[in-house]
Structure 1
Amino acid sequence: MYFHLQEFINDIAQDEPDPAAANALQEGLGGQFGEMRTMMQYLFQSMNFRGPSGKAYKDLIQGIGTEEISHVELIGTTISRLLDGSPGYHGTPADPVDQPGAGGATPLSIAVDHGNIHHYLVGAQGALPVDSVGNPWSGSYVYNSGNLVLDLLYNLMLESTGRLQKCRLYEMTDNKMARGTISYLIVRDQAHENAYAKALETLGVNWRTSLPIPKTNAEQFPEVKRLVDLGLQSKQYSFDLGNQSEAGKIFQGASPSNDGTQLDASEQAPAGAPMTISPERLEEFSPGADADLRELIEATAAMEMADIDATFGRMA
């Protein structure tokens, strides 16, 4: 089972909207080496895992896959925030939703020459399951061979490539919101590299000669350095409420990054950060739930609860 804590896995920094940065970040969400790929690949590998004696490896892959769900949430929300707002639009909730463009105003003019126009046409200033040029995310990206060594090698390559791309994304924008999220994902990608590298070592695979991890020197980025100084690249979380994960049998000892740190799998989850909901966007005709709709929602919920009570008895 999966549970959702209504917190972001990392804080989203505040800065001005930046549609071009949002479009670049789509590669880190829906691209071939993006967060949707890692999430689905690891969850499918863990679901299809065979062999009870290898439970520690299943738990490691599943824990990372669970974390990737929160990474999809983090980068998707960041994209949405980077798109959130239309320069020159000053509408208020008191105005009818058909007024923003009255008199020839073009509150969404930024959409035609900044980034991906589908962010505005289709997504109402929100993230999409696509890459940076609009190609839809594809399930064909997922690699699940059924062979543990092959899967771990592929996962290590995936995390290494993802970190390399995010370092490039960092250098494409100076937006603090974008850089804050990118930096967190860079460091967590390194933690996952360490996890898969350590797992391969326990299986006798000399990954350093067969698949050397590219050196990005990401520590030169101040936001990355702050997180590395906290040792975030050497932590792995179980996300296991039942305290049954055996991933710590693998994620221990000296870090494969050779940075002098020790791997630590003792924490269930990171502290998290407060979660907020973006405001309505009237110029997108996305007003949320108006009074009439809320009344309908409440009436429908009451009918469903009455049906449940009639079928199963009143719930305590």
Structure 2
Amino acid sequence: LRVYEMTQNPVAREMIGYLLVRGGVHAAAYGKALESLTGVEMTKLLPIPRIDNSKFPEARKYMEQGFHKNLYRFSPSDYQDLGLIWNGASPEDGSPVVVVDGPPQGGPVFDLGHDAAEFAPEFHPGELYEIAKKLYEKAK
């Protein structure tokens, strides 16, 4: 929130708006897990600050798209019991929360090709094997 307040850059604010919403999901999931384990309503036990994401235009649109209620399970074979914790109402607006199998839909992934500046100059991947082989022999 502090970084959001410190910048007027529209790209930074867009990213921060998304992160405020998604970070809220993770905080809510931790709270729901603690409530499931202890039976204690965490919002009554701890002085948790209430940050209303809908007050930020960049976050509001992600709220309207329902990103505040989705918890993504990237691997269908993992976390099979996630629905035991992530259920009920969203603390944001009371809408039902949802476990979604698979990653969220995003923008296009661009193939930017090879950029030599991203790698060590004059490095050839085939040389790595030779270097490792020499080091292995010296270590014997």
How far the C-alpha of 1:193 sits from its partner, in A, is 1.9
Q: What's the C-alpha RMSD, in Å, of the aligned pairs?
A: 2.9
* SS, match of residue 171 in structure 1: helix
Where in structure 1 are there 5+ consecutive unaligned residues? 1-166, 281-285, 308-316
Deviation digits for residues 182-202 of structure 1 (CA, Å, limit 9, x no counterpart): 111100111112212222232
* SS, match of residue 6 in structure 2: coil
Which amino acid counterpart does residue 293 of structure 1 have in structure 2? E
Choose the corresponding residue for 1:270, options 88, 99, 104: 104
How far the C-alpha of 1:174 sits from its partner, in A, is 0.9
- Determine which structure has greater relative contact order: mean sequence separation of CA pairs < 8 Å that are 6+ residues apart, divided by chain length: 1
Deviation digits for residues 235-281 of structure 1 (CA, Å, limit 9, x no counterpart): 11122252553111110111233x1311111332212332676x97x
Superposition TM-score, scaled by structure 1 size: 0.36
Choose the corresponding residue for 1:178, options 3, 8, 12: 12
Aligned equivalents of 2:2 and 2:111: distance in 1? 28
Superposition TM-score, scaled by structure 2 size: 0.74
Is this contact kept in 1: 2:76–2:101, CA < 8 A?
A: no
Alpha carbons of 1:193 and 1:288: their partners in 2 closer, same or farther (altered >3 Å)? closer
Q: Which residue of 2 aligns with 1:260?
A: 94
Q: Which residue of 1 aligns with 2:52?
A: 217
Alpha carbons of 1:287 and 1:216: their partners in 2 closer, same or farther (altered >3 Å)? same
How far the C-alpha of 1:206 sits from its partner, in A, is 2.2
Q: After the TM superposition, which residues 156-305 of structure 1 pair with which residues of structure 2 at under 5 Å, given as runs? A: 167-202=1-36, 203-257=38-92, 259-273=93-107, 274=109, 287-289=117-119, 293-294=122-123, 296-297=124-125, 299-300=126-127, 303=129
Is this contact kept in 2: 1:231–1:261, CA < 8 A?
A: no
Where in structure 2 are there 5+ consecutive unaligned residues? 134-140
Alpha carbons of 1:262 and 1:211: their partners in 2 closer, same or farther (altered >3 Å)? same
Aligned equivalents of 2:83 and 2:9: distance in 1? 37
Aligned equivalents of 1:190 and 1:198: distance in 2? 12
Q: After the TM superposition, which residues 79-90 of structure 1 pair with which residues of structure 2 at under 5 Å, given as runs? A: none
How far the C-alpha of 1:172 sits from its partner, in A, is 0.7
* SS, match of residue 216 in structure 1: coil
